[in-house]
Amino acid sequence: MIPLPTRADFASWASTRSGPAIGATVGVVVLAVAAIVTEALDTGFPPTTVATVATGLLCLAALLSPPRRLLRVGWAAVAASAALSLVTSQLRHRPEHTFGVVELCVLLLLVTRTVRYEPFTRMLPLATAAWLATPLLLLRLPGSQLTHVAGYAGPVLLLAAPVVVVLGLYLRLLDATREREKNTRLNDQRLEFARELHDFVGHHVTAITAQVKAVRFITASGHPPTAEVLDQALANIEDAAAQATGSMRAMVDLLRRPDRRPPLHAPEGLQALHGLAESLRVAGPAVGLTIDPRLETDPPADHIASTVHHIVREALTNIRKHAARAETVTIDVRLSANDPGVLTVCVQDDADQPPAGPSADRRGGGFGILGLHERVHALGGHLTAGPGPVGGWQVAADIPLRRGTPDRPPAHLAG
């Protein structure tokens, strides 16, 4: 049984096209069906009329069938068309004015569609058979007209062969290009979501873990926390959990409604760095924050400031996780002394590294540092993470201010 297009196939096709495109396609199909019926009536013989309509509609169905059904419907259409041409050549009743021009055009377009969608091993036999079926249509003409029509139709069909093949190859290349672009967009979106999960949810979960560890450490040392200290710790945990929940809800909302592309979070300005410094200062180490006064009077673009916020937050999160012995942390954000058009960010701690060396995250093998590299690189900057010049650990970045300041920054930098 020939798998003709179903209602589900039509619904899937219609969902990818606009209203005018669907209307134009339906209009062309209606005209093609009308032309097929008109040419079939020209035979003047009911059996060949019905057969001509059937083969014409079958060829049209092959042209409109989903790619996954193209091979089976295409072979059925080519076989039926060729068989009818051979049978008609043996009958007395033949078309007086036309041999099936619409069917011929559909068979040539079927060659194009086969070249476009099928792999080479399946495309070559069907495309060749469809093209060979086109000159057989001339056999439907009376013998007196066959020689005359073949004289000008033959060269046209020979020239049409490379044209339809090249058209199919062009459409195949266009499809491949669109697929690569689509995969690139999906990969960028996937990386954006991964960064958001790590930067926002991971940061808040790390803060919760740090607060719980601090309470347990104080309790284990034989000095249970006072009610006031415990209440403050629980308040901090509650706040971090609420922010993590908000980040998750924003991402779930975006995943459920991919047509919406607002930033998952409002851009963070440089003033928000004070809150990050204070949150680490509460955990123990002394934190010094320096922001170039020129950046306060003439702040950088939102997405650059947001990237600075990401860098500082990730560096402080790693200090919480891997540098518990740190006593002093410095955060320095300023315009480069060598180039005022470059913003430099540096986060330095004084924690001694354990004999086994820094962990994977501290060395840059974790996803946090990788995400920072991607963000900074997208702005044309450079980021390093490693041992500081006077010990401890340092995360530093140089970000050009002029590049990456479009009217509308890329989606993965907007948050």
* Whether residue 3 has pLDDT greater than 80: no
**Of the candidate ranges 117-126, 255-264, 312-321, the one whose mean pLDDT is the lowest:** 255-264
> Confidence band (pLDDT; 50, 70, 90) for 403?
low
CA distance 298 to 287: 25
Mean pLDDT of all residues belonging to the chain: 80
Arithmetic mean of pLDDT, 380-384: 91
Strands 328-335, 342-349: pairing is antiparallel
Q: Which residue has the tokens 């995250």?
A: 361
Mean pLDDT throughout 182-197? 76
Residues in the chain: 415
pLDDT score of 259: 59
Give the helix/strand (H/E) hosting 387.
Answer: strand 382-387
Q: Return the structure tokens found at 59.
A: 């060829």
Write out the DSSP string of 264-324. Answer: SSPPP-GGGHHHHHHHHHHHSSEEEEEE-HHHHHSPPPHHHHHHHHHHHHHHHHHHHHH-T
Domain boundaries, the chain: 7-141, 266-415
Q: Average pLDDT for residues 318-342, to the nearest whole number?
A: 86
Helix (H, G, I), strand (E, B) or coil at 181: helix
Decide if pLDDT at 200 tops 70.
Answer: no
> Which of 79-88, 128-137, 187-196, 402-411 has the weakest average pLDDT?
402-411
| Residue 128 predicted with pLDDT over 90 | yes
Work out the pLDDT band at 114, boundaries 50, 70, 90. Answer: very high
**Which one is predicted more confidently, 326 or 97?**
326
pLDDT band (50, 70, 90) for residue 130: very high
Report the share of the chain in percent with pLDDT over 90.
24
CATH of 266-415, one of 3.30.1330.60, 1.20.1070.10, 3.30.565.10, 3.40.50.620: 3.30.565.10
Strands 328-335 and 286-291: parallel
Q: Express each pLDDT in 147-189 by its tens digit.
A: 777 777 788 888 888 999 999 999 999 999 999 988 887 787 7
Q: Taking each helix axis from N to C terminus, what angle separates 227-256 and 143-196, rounded to the nearest 10 degrees?
A: 170
Is the predicted pLDDT of residue 15 greater than 60, yes or no?
Answer: no
